Structure 1
Amino acid sequence: MMRKIIQFLPLLLLPGVNAANSADFSLGVQGGSYGMAYNTHHADYWALPYIGYNGKEWYIDGTEAGYNFINTDTQLFRAKVYYYTNQYSSSDGRTSAMRSLNSRNSTMMAGFTYQYISPIGAFSTTVGADTLDNSKGVVVNAAYILLKQWGDLTLVPEMGVDWSNAQNTRYYYGISQEESDRSGLSTWRPHDSFVPYIQLAMNYAWSKQWNTWGEITGRYYPSTISDSPMVNKHGVTELTLGVSYTF
């Protein structure tokens, strides 16, 4: 059961906590808010239907899908595609200068995840690359995941770091000379960036079919990002809530 829970934690498939003895297809809804590092009027709120399929080889988890090459009690290695949520809409800029900048689009990443599950927790690494050529970005995540379970309630603390190459960091937080001339903001050409984060996820199984889950994440930006003229925060908070029914 511990392997079952741990292997999907980075994928938000917490409704799969009690799925070991039931069918592996789930439907539900999920939503939340992303704190915006950009100097904008508001956070980014979202809501989406949830589709989950938890097979031995193929899986779907909301905005992510992939194939498991290795799926054992202690190791998981998979190829996957997933939605990269970072984005900036110029119409949301708080100032006229911010509204003069180009929008930064979210994208679809493709890559691999390797996870080792030990008696003291799980160690996970994900490498992804931009498939839509928006940023030409490459991102790497490294995380350490723990698990505490009390009956039908599961709590999962996680700590980790996200690395973005220079192309990805510049696309989302840099300001070109052309944008600077148009907006009056200073140019900004950052190098690669490391963003540490802490996260607490939970799942409550009301029955063998119904699950609710939530996740709160705090991200802390280095000067590579926070010193950008586009940015007015040193950290953000993200919240996700969801409910699903497993068939």
Structure 2
Amino acid sequence: MNIKAVGIILSVSLCSSAPIMAADLSLGLMGGTNSSPYKGVDSKGFVMPLISADSQYLYLHTTQGGIHLYRPNQQFQINLFAEYSGTEFKPHDSDNHQMRLLDHRKPSVYSGLGITFNTGAGRMQASVMYDVFSHSNGWISKIGYAYPIQQGALTLIPSLSVQYNSKHQNQYYYGISSGEATRSGLSSYQADGGLFPTIGLTARYHITQNWIAQLNGQYTFYNNDITDSPMVDSDYALSASAGIMYHF
């Protein structure tokens, strides 16, 4: 997890300090592990701040910050946002000698529009975003659904989302150019755009009125546009994390 990039989003979102400082605010710390679909790359641990701040005009949720363009009530909102994506391939992280001869695929920040609709039947979200650093020149769209289940101090939030990566997005992170193929001995690969789903579960427990413990787990299923790449040796990715935060 790139803490520097998270800091960039934090700085941008806090540029109008008065509105955000009046927000509903929670701060904490989270640690966890992410598996990698890349050949020869082991799971990686991370530690990062947990931040949740929401005001009339601005918001910040750890890796995503933005502006409420339209929010007539707590049930519906349209946001302009910037979001950090930690998808990355570092050649030296792989223990496969051919993979170590490929180019670095960098993480990036994406900007776009998002819609959130909260009802008694759950929370629905949709977004579309573009790579503002132009590493991939690609774009991503997502739709998701989550249903909070509260039992006393414990809240369980199962979720399901589907993400679409554009052709350029998949090509940057999973394609292999002819030059890389010649250098590494891996077959060249031209990726197409495609859909893949993620299921998740979040558990939040109020230790006290202000202290909250949180557990998160996600399982992502990759489609053939990704798994057919010679760079990839897994058709899924797992993510798990635990954290604690204080609600002011």
Superposed counterparts of 1:1-247, under 5 Å: 24-71=24-71, 72-247=73-248
* Unaligned ranges ≥5, structure 1: 1-21
Q: Distance in 2 between matches of 1:161 and 1:40?
A: 27
Q: Distance in 2 between matches of 1:246 and 1:61?
A: 13
How big is each residue's C-alpha offset from its partner over 1:77-102, in whole Å with a ceiling of 9 and x where there is no partner? 11111111111110011211000001
**AA of the residue aligned to 1:126:** S
Secondary structure, aligned partner of 1:96: coil
Deviation at 1:222, TM superposition (A): 0.7
**AA of the residue aligned to 1:58:** L
**AA of the residue aligned to 2:27:** L
Q: Distance in 2 between matches of 1:46 and 1:215?
A: 14
1:190–1:224 contact (8 Å) kept in structure 2:
yes
Partner of 1:19: none
Secondary structure, aligned partner of 2:201: strand
Deviation at 1:103, TM superposition (A): 1.1
How big is each residue's C-alpha offset from its partner over 1:209-230, in whole Å with a ceiling of 9 and x where there is no partner? 1111121110011111011000
How big is each residue's C-alpha offset from its partner over 1:168-219, in whole Å with a ceiling of 9 and x where there is no partner? 0000000000000000000010110211111111111112211111211100
1:159–1:197 contact (8 Å) kept in structure 2:
yes
Deviation at 1:57, TM superposition (A): 2.0
2:145–2:161 contact (8 Å) kept in structure 1:
yes
Secondary structure, aligned partner of 2:159: strand
Partner of 1:12: none
Q: Distance in 1 between matches of 2:178 and 2:41?
A: 25
Deviation at 1:23, TM superposition (A): 6.8
Q: Distance in 2 between matches of 1:202 and 1:128?
A: 28
**AA of the residue aligned to 2:128:** V
2:54–2:60 contact (8 Å) kept in structure 1:
yes
CA-atom RMSD in angstroms: 1.5
Q: Distance in 1 between matches of 2:237 and 2:66?
A: 29
CA separation of 1:135 and 1:158: change in aligned 2, threshold 3 A = same
How big is each residue's C-alpha offset from its partner over 1:80-127, in whole Å with a ceiling of 9 and x where there is no partner? 111111111100112110000011110011111101222222221011
CA separation of 1:23 and 1:131: change in aligned 2, threshold 3 A = closer
* Unaligned ranges ≥5, structure 2: 1-21
Which structure exhibits the higher relative contact order, with contacts defined as CA atoms closer than 8 Å and separated by 6 or more residues?
A: 1
Taking structure 2 as the reference length, the TM-score comes to 0.87
Secondary structure, aligned partner of 1:170: helix
Q: Distance in 1 between matches of 2:23 and 2:109?
A: 29
| Identity score, percent | 27
Deviation at 1:237, TM superposition (A): 0.8
Q: Distance in 2 between matches of 1:53 and 1:121?
A: 21
CA separation of 1:204 and 1:23: change in aligned 2, threshold 3 A = farther
Q: Distance in 2 between matches of 1:51 and 1:235?
A: 28
